[in-house]
């Protein structure tokens, strides 16, 4: 490539692999070969059946396959990540089930036999947030459901998801959701009043 002219260089396209945000391995030992095989058969099936919009569907399947290969690539380069994935999912499930209790890094570290720093680093790398941030997110999601689908007072909802202070609950709710808890209640009242005022009701 160093000795070709500018005119000759136009016959070569840029290697898109150089633009990848991750370094790709030259070969992979697949952790989930069955998943890759199923994806390939799904793509083949779309082209054989040629149902309406099969080309659009095939493009989506190719993207799914590419994402799976990128994940396999990361697992190949970080063997500890895949070996700890099941344990991390257990941590995640424990937080979901016990969202209403106070959960600390000390507790998680002791229960799942991880050092605190390693647990935070691995959990964040895998799920994009720390265990404590995930705990807060689950709490707020549960609170939002109760606000929208029950008539319970906000103080009662805050207490049920583990907040002893309504002020702490409101502050964290707004930090995560972007609006205060009362925003949903106000909107529900407006919708009810609007429905009652409709002439056909």
Long-range pairs for 17-26 at CB < 8 Å and ≥24 separation?
A: 22/70, 22/73, 22/74, 23/77, 24/73, 25/73, 25/76, 25/77
Q: What angle do CA 11, 14, 20 make, to 5 degrees?
A: 165
* pLDDT at residue 128, rounded to an integer: 84
Could you give the percent of the chain with pLDDT greater than 70? 79
Whether the CA torsion 25, 125, 180, 157 is positive or negative: it is positive
pTM of the entire predicted model: 0.59
Q: What is the pLDDT of residues 76-105, one digit of tens each?
A: 777 666 678 888 989 999 999 999 999 999
- For residues 3 and 183, the model is more confident at 183
Domain range annotation of the chain: 17-77, 83-201
Comparing 72 with 153, which gets the higher pLDDT? 153
CATH architecture of 83-201: Orthogonal Bundle (1.10)
Alpha helices in 98-130 (DSSP H): 105-112, 116-127
What's the token pair of residue 128? 């994009």
pLDDT score, position 192: 45
Q: Exposed (0-12), middle (13-18) or buried (19+): which is 131, by Cβ within 10 Å?
A: buried
pLDDT at 13: 62
Q: What is the pLDDT of residues 2-60, one digit of tens each?
A: 566 766 666 666 655 555 556 777 777 787 788 889 999 999 999 999 989 999 999 99
pLDDT per residue as tens digits for the range 107-132: 999 999 989 999 999 899 888 899 99
């Amino acid at each position: 490539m160093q000795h070709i002219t500018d005119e000759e260089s136009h016959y070569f396209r840029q290697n898109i692999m150089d633009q990848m945000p991750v370094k790709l391995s030259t070969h992979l030992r697949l952790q989930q070969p069955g998943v890759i095989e199923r994806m390939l058969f799904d793509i083949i099936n779309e082209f054989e059946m040629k149902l309406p919009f099969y080309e659009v569907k095939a493009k989506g399947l190719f993207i799914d396959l590419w994402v799976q290969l990128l994940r396999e690539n990361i697992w190949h380069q970080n063997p500890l990540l895949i070996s700890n994935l099941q344990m991390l999912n257990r941590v995640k499930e424990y937080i979901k089930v016990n969202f209403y209790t106070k959960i600390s890094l000390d507790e998680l570290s002791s229960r799942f036999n991880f050092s605190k720093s390693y647990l935070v680093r691995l959990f964040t790398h895998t799920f994009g947030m720390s265990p404590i941030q995930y705990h807060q997110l689950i709490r707020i999601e549960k609170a939002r459901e109760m606000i929208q689908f029950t008539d319970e007072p906000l103080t009662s909802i805050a207490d049920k998801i583990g907040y002893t202070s309504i002020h702490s609950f409101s502050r964290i709710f707004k930090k995560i959701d972007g609006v205060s808890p009362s925003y949903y209640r106000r909107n529900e009242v407006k919708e009810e009043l609007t429905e009652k005022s409709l002439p056909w009701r």
